[in-house]
Amino acid sequence: MKAVASTKTNAARLLDQLGIAYELRPYEVDLDDLTALSVAKKIGLPPEQVFKTLLTHAGGRDYLFAVVPGDAELDPKKLATAAGVKKVELAPLKEVEPLTGYIRGGVTVLAAKKSYPAFADETIELFDVISISAGQRGLQMLLKPEDYLRAAEASVADMTRAAG
């Protein structure tokens, strides 16, 4: 996997600095459907291989990134347990861009404005390649899970429940 000649995002620059191979995969953005399921269809991967990045609030000034498969939902209790905090909830949407530098549909742990502890669902290790946002809507990055975990400095934990 090599980086394609496309717009370099801060996330892509970070991977370049770390010497991590990746592929950028653009897709058509539908502002009415920014779901990981929609992205998975557009880039030709199963939804369980397309990971979405959620910003969560753990009380006070503490935030955490949760990286979960596109076909699952975050279980806040499981994330709280993994992070050793009392309670976790999704951060209000209005806080996401000021805290991460990324807009909804383009959030990634990589090169975020502020560094927060990151937790990736344990299923990330089941795949040879995963997809995550490249830091902007309409662009995904494909890379090896172990490379992503290293770049994101993410811990692995069981933190999802079936969607629905």
Q: First and final CA of the chain: distance in angstroms?
A: 34
Task: Find, among 141, 120, 125, 117, the residue nearest to 68 by Cα.
Answer: 120
Per-residue pLDDT of 19-37, as tens digits, reads: 999 999 999 999 899 999 9
Q: Is residue 146 part of a domain?
A: yes
Q: Kindly indicate the confidence band of residue 164, based on its pLDDT and cuts at 50, 70 and 90.
A: low
Residue 160 lies in a domain: no
Asked, for residue 161, whether it belongs to a domain, the answer is: no
For 55, the domain range is 10-155
Confidence of residue 121 (pLDDT cuts 50, 70, 90): very high
- This prediction has a pTM of 0.92
Q: Is 163 a domain residue?
A: no
Look at residue 103 and tell me if it is in a domain: yes
Assign residue 65 the CATH number of its domain.
3.90.960.10
Residue 44 pLDDT > 80: yes
Q: How many domains does the chain have?
A: 1
